[in-house]
Amino acid sequence: MSKDASTRNMDIRHLPETDRELIWHPYTQMKDFEAMSLLFVDRARGVYLYDLDGKRYFDTISSWWCITHGHNHPVIMERIRRQLERLDQVHFAGTTHRGPIELARRLKALLPGRLSKFFFSDNGSTAVEVALKMSFQYWKNLAVDGRELFVSLERGYHGDTLGTMSLGGVPAFEGPFSKLTFDSLRVPAPYCYRCPAGQERYDPVLGRRCNLECFDILERNVRQHARKVCAVVVEPLLMGAGGMVVYPEEYLVRLRGLCDRVGAHLVFDEVATGFGRTGKMFAFEHAGVAPDFLCLSKGITGGALPLAVTVTSRDVFRAFYAEYTEGKTFFHGHTFTANPICSAAALGSLDVFEKEKVLQSLPRKVEFLQEEKKRLLDVPLVGDVRGIGMVAAFELVGDRKKRTPLDPGLRAGWQVYLKGLERGLILRPLSDVIYLFLPLCTTTEQISRLLDRTADTIRQVASMIGY
């Protein structure tokens, strides 16, 4: 007679079975795991995850894009240990504590002068949600009528809360909830592989330059509603969940100019791109323009613990600073806002950036990855190869000349994931886009081997599905 999960002895061999019985995993069709087990991760170190049998897997997606310096980095772990002795948690209204103060001070030193007020929360969705609500209320507090429209990009992704989904541009994620979300203006993405303006690829190396006609589409849309736009929200340079779409810096330069001209806020969602992933501390640095709101999370703690911050300007802050009775207070907050242990982890991650000269070590690795990734253009199914910083993506297609997507029923990306696991790689795809989103500590030797193994895995799947 089989015991049920609540009475069964928590013997480690039973854990996968108990998981199947009790747990519902995120972004997962649980039926896929009817006949197979989830990967049971028992421990991690550096760039590797280890299963119960001690088999190791390269964490090529940095555990959903947050691990910065590898897992269990001793400097971060030590900061956490020390903090545990002192203060575990305290609400952040009417109280304060060391971690977030020190963190705000150190982050401010890394940011342009305009970004000088820090509002903490605890995950990426809330970091963006805070920016949306602050921007929206800013106009109300200033008694400006009608600025209520948010503009974002198709293929954009900003989180899973209703507010952030209202701006999201990935239909598979937001579709079922369309009646619950508010109206926003989504414009075609600067997706060079399938240019919305029908242009050739923007290629600064080969000198084939379009004139960013994709930006003209955005500009036309924004100008049409100029006095209604509250904020334009984008993931700068790299649109992650929408398929690791990389777009030119010039787009951001023009976007900053446009927002200034129409008087709208500009929000950069750097939840995924922040903290070195694009080769600079923040992606917007490539373009040399600053937003009115900067949303940070994931890598802020080196990926060890959840924390987020929305950084804005004194101008925005001043619009809320008034006598209480004026009703301008920002009524928003989360229980674990600026949690002391998470803040300590974030300070530890900044220590690692400094001590290990992480940013200085990146250009060589980035150049290597961005050059070597092109090898995969010869691999069957690979239609496009793109990347920035420590990110490289390979879009699989059915017909390379016509850029025709693969039949979704083949689930090619999923097959690559399964075959990758056999080879000790976590190649969790975004539909049929396979990508590496690497911890910053990955070495060039590891990058080289990873690219070989990724190519072999895709080749294997190509032949399995008859290509």
Ligand X SMILES: Cc1ncc(COP(=O)(O)O)c(C=O)c1O
- Identify the residue among 59, 129, 219, 235 touching ligand X (CB under 6 A): 235
Which of the following is catalytic: 57, 59, 247, 269? 269
- As a whole number of angstroms, the distance between CA 200 and CA 198 comes to 7
CB of 153 or CB of 187, closer to ligand X: 153
Dihedral sign for Cα 145, 148, 149, 151, please: positive
Query: Is position 123 an interface residue for ligand X (rule: CB under 6 A)?
Result: yes
Q: Please give the residues from 10 up to 29 whose contact with ligand X meets the rule CB under 6 A.
A: none
Query: Is position 174 an interface residue for ligand X (rule: CB under 6 A)?
Result: no
Stretch that binds ligand X, among 2-10, 31-39, 153-161, 441-449 (CB under 6 A): 153-161
- As a whole number of angstroms, the distance between CA 283 and CA 269 comes to 10
- Identify the residue among 124, 302, 383, 420 touching ligand X (CB under 6 A): 124
Query: Is position 269 an interface residue for ligand X (rule: CB under 6 A)?
Result: yes
- Identify the residue among 271, 341, 344, 390 touching ligand X (CB under 6 A): 271
SS3 363: helix
Nearest to 311 by CA among 333, 295, 334, 332: 295
Task: Please report which helix (H) or strand (E) contains residue 312, including its range.
Answer: strand 308-312
From the CB of residue 278, how many other CB atoms can be counted at a distance below 10 Å? 26
Query: Is position 241 an interface residue for ligand X (rule: CB under 6 A)?
Result: yes
- Identify the residue among 46, 169, 240, 302 touching ligand X (CB under 6 A): 240
Active site residue 417: no
Interaction pattern, residues 427-446, with ligand X; x per rule: CB under 6 A? --------------------
Q: What's the min distance (Å) between Cβ of 271 and ligand X?
A: 4
Active site residue 133: no
Q: What's the min distance (Å) between Cβ of 45 and ligand X?
A: 24
SS3 198: coil
Which own/partner pairs from 143-147 qualify as long-range (CB within 8 Å, at least 24 positions apart)? Answer: 146/227, 146/228, 147/227, 147/228, 147/229, 147/230, 147/264
User: Could you write out the DSSP letters of every residue in 377-419?
Assistant: GGSTTEEEEEEETTEEEEEEEEETTTTEEPPGGG-HHHHHHHH
HEC string of 9-44 equals CCCHHHHHHHHHHHCCCCCCCHHHHCCCCCCCEEEE
- Identify the residue among 166, 297, 415, 457 touching ligand X (CB under 6 A): 297
Q: What angle do CA 435, 58, 357 make, to 5 degrees?
A: 85
Query: Is position 157 an interface residue for ligand X (rule: CB under 6 A)?
Result: yes
CB of 123 or CB of 442, closer to ligand X: 123
Active site residue 191: no
Are 18 and 4 contacting, i.e. CB atoms less than 8 angstroms apart? no
- Identify the residue among 61, 67, 111, 128 touching ligand X (CB under 6 A): 128
Q: What's the min distance (Å) between Cβ of 297 and ligand X?
A: 5
Q: How far is CA 226 from CA 133, 218, 220, 259, 409, in A?
A: 19, 12, 10, 9, 42
CB of 310 or CB of 457, closer to ligand X: 310
Query: How many residues bind to ligand X according to rule CB under 6 A?
Result: 14
Which of the following is catalytic: 57, 157, 247, 417? 157
Q: What's the min distance (Å) between Cβ of 402 and ligand X?
A: 30
Q: What's the min distance (Å) between Cβ of 125 and ligand X?
A: 3
Helix axes 340-355, 98-110, angle to 10 degrees: 40
Active site residue 57: no
Q: How far is CA 374 from CA 171, 426, 453, in A?
A: 30, 20, 14
- As a whole number of angstroms, the distance between CA 436 and CA 52 comes to 24
Stretch that binds ligand X, among 68-76, 117-125, 251-259, 309-317 (CB under 6 A): 117-125
Stretch that binds ligand X, among 196-204, 246-254, 264-272, 438-446 (CB under 6 A): 264-272
CB of 158 or CB of 286, closer to ligand X: 158
Which of the following is catalytic: 251, 280, 298, 351? 298
Q: Please give the residues from 86 up to 115 whose contact with ligand X meets the rule CB under 6 A.
A: none
Stretch that binds ligand X, among 13-21, 121-129, 174-182, 253-261 (CB under 6 A): 121-129
Nearest to 25 by CA among 14, 37, 35: 37
The token pair at 432 is 């049929």
Query: Is position 168 an interface residue for ligand X (rule: CB under 6 A)?
Result: no
Residue nearest to ligand X (CB): 124
Nearest to 118 by CA among 100, 135, 136: 100
Q: Which residues are catalytic?
A: 27, 157, 269, 298
**Rule CB under 6 A: which residues touch ligand X?**
123-125, 128, 157-159, 235, 240-241, 269, 271-272, 297
